[in-house]
Amino acid sequence: MKELEGYIDFWPAFEANKEITEGDLCFIYKDNELLFQHAPSLSVPYYGQCEAFITDVSSAWYLGKWKGKSCFAYELSSNELNTYEQMENKQKLEWIGFRDSRWNDDLELYKIAVKTQHLLKWDKSTKYCGCCGSLYERKEDECAKKCPNCGHLQFPRISPAIIVGIKKGNEILMAHNSAFRPGLYSVIAGFIEQGETIENAVKREVYEEVGIKVKNIQYFQSSPWNSIDSLMLGFIAEYESGEIRIDGKEIVDAKWCDKEHMPEVLPDKISTAWRIINEIMGLEK
Ligand SMILES: [Zn+2]
């Protein structure tokens, strides 16, 4: 895989019974946090460094290779918290949440962490066959589960969502969602419906949430997103017509902002939302 270095750094793979060795990387997950080395920048512990922590494992998967190193995901049960806290100090490892600002410096690592989270959450929530209620078994030859009774297959899910920055002259539309922390404004986002095109989802979400029409919808970039199993597809569009009319449920405030009057609280810099806002407004180069 040497010829892929710098081209595709993380290569997802599946091996049902892969053995872990001392130099392999461990993505240890518990309650939406990962156990990383305590340092100014994030680094993943090797198996040899963190083997003692990997007890009380509720789920374990081989993830693939990152820069040639094998990566494994482990979910720990949460009932040993005190023990882990005591060991954290001794071993200089710490639990890192997805809101930590150190992710901003390492998008590649963030994406593997999100894969870890999505895979382990899927594993936890996909125990029984939705068709006949039997207990699923893991497939031996691919990352999936199979019902031993009716043969139904279940693969890890991702849920595509759109996120769009809307330009109007030198202004951008910023909105406060009722689920946001106080003061935070971002661009418009929402899940794509079944049977819907991505372009249509952009138009529909914008119209539903703030009552305006957009044109010249241009793809910007994508990124997996933590918490739910979403894949954010980022767009930039131009204002076409209409006055802001918030839906009052999801969006509780929305306004046009120029560079001098941006909201004080913006999305985390790792997010596609922030990258879109930065692309339109040129906040940081
Ligand atoms: Zn079944």
The ranges of the chain annotated as CATH 3.90.79.10 are: 159-281
- The model carries a pTM of 0.89
Please give the distance, rounded to the nearest whole angstrom, from the Cα atom of residue 131 to the centre of ligand 1: 5
Closest CA to 233 of 159, 122, 179, 157: 159
Please give the distance, rounded to the nearest whole angstrom, from the Cα atom of residue 221 to the centre of ligand 1: 38
Residue 123 tokens, joined: 């594993």
Please give the distance, rounded to the nearest whole angstrom, from the Cα atom of residue 146 to the centre of ligand 1: 8
pLDDT at 187: 98
Please give the distance, rounded to the nearest whole angstrom, from the Cα atom of residue 198 to the centre of ligand 1: 32
Closest CA to 10 of 105, 112, 144, 118: 112
CB 165 within 8 A of CB 280: yes
Per-residue pLDDT tens for 192-201? 999 999 999 9
Q: How does 198-220 read in b/e, with b if 16+ C-beta sit within 10 Å? A: eeebbbbbbbebbebebeebeeb
Single-letter code of the amino acid located at 28: I
Is the pLDDT confidence value at 86 over 80? no
Is the pLDDT confidence value at 152 over 60? yes
Please give the distance, rounded to the nearest whole angstrom, from the Cα atom of residue 138 to the centre of ligand 1: 13
Closest CA to 185 of 279, 122, 255: 255
Question: What is the average pLDDT value for the chain, to the nearest integer?
Answer: 92
Is the pLDDT confidence value at 13 over 80? yes
Is the pLDDT confidence value at 79 over 60? no
CATH class for the domain made up of 159-281: alpha beta
> How far does CA 262 lie from the centroid of its chain?
25
Is the pLDDT confidence value at 78 over 80? no
Is the pLDDT confidence value at 1 over 70? no
Please give the distance, rounded to the nearest whole angstrom, from the Cα atom of residue 195 to the centre of ligand 1: 26
Architecture field, domain 2-121: Alpha-Beta Complex (3.90)
Please give the distance, rounded to the nearest whole angstrom, from the Cα atom of residue 134 to the centre of ligand 1: 5
What's the chain's length in residues? Answer: 285
Please give the distance, rounded to the nearest whole angstrom, from the Cα atom of residue 133 to the centre of ligand 1: 6
Closest CA to 167 of 209, 123, 214, 199: 214
pLDDT at 201: 98
Please give the distance, rounded to the nearest whole angstrom, from the Cα atom of residue 245 to the centre of ligand 1: 47
Please give the distance, rounded to the nearest whole angstrom, from the Cα atom of residue 122 to the centre of ligand 1: 17
Please give the distance, rounded to the nearest whole angstrom, from the Cα atom of residue 254 to the centre of ligand 1: 47
- What is the three-class DSSP state of 253? strand
Is the pLDDT confidence value at 2 over 90? no
Site of tokens 């001794």: 90
Mean pLDDT value across residues 129-135: 97
Is the pLDDT confidence value at 38 over 60? yes
pLDDT at 276: 98
Please give the distance, rounded to the nearest whole angstrom, from the Cα atom of residue 64 to the centre of ligand 1: 29
Please give the distance, rounded to the nearest whole angstrom, from the Cα atom of residue 147 to the centre of ligand 1: 5
Is the pLDDT confidence value at 80 over 70? no
Please give the distance, rounded to the nearest whole angstrom, from the Cα atom of residue 155 to the centre of ligand 1: 14
**CB proximity list for 284: less than 8 A, separation 6 or greater:** 278
Per-residue pLDDT tens for 203-234? 999 999 999 999 999 999 999 988 788 999 99
Please give the distance, rounded to the nearest whole angstrom, from the Cα atom of residue 120 to the centre of ligand 1: 21
**CB proximity list for 87: less than 8 A, separation 6 or greater:** 52, 53, 93
CB 192 within 8 A of CB 164: no
Strands 171-177 and 159-168: antiparallel
Closest CA to 119 of 243, 29, 203: 29
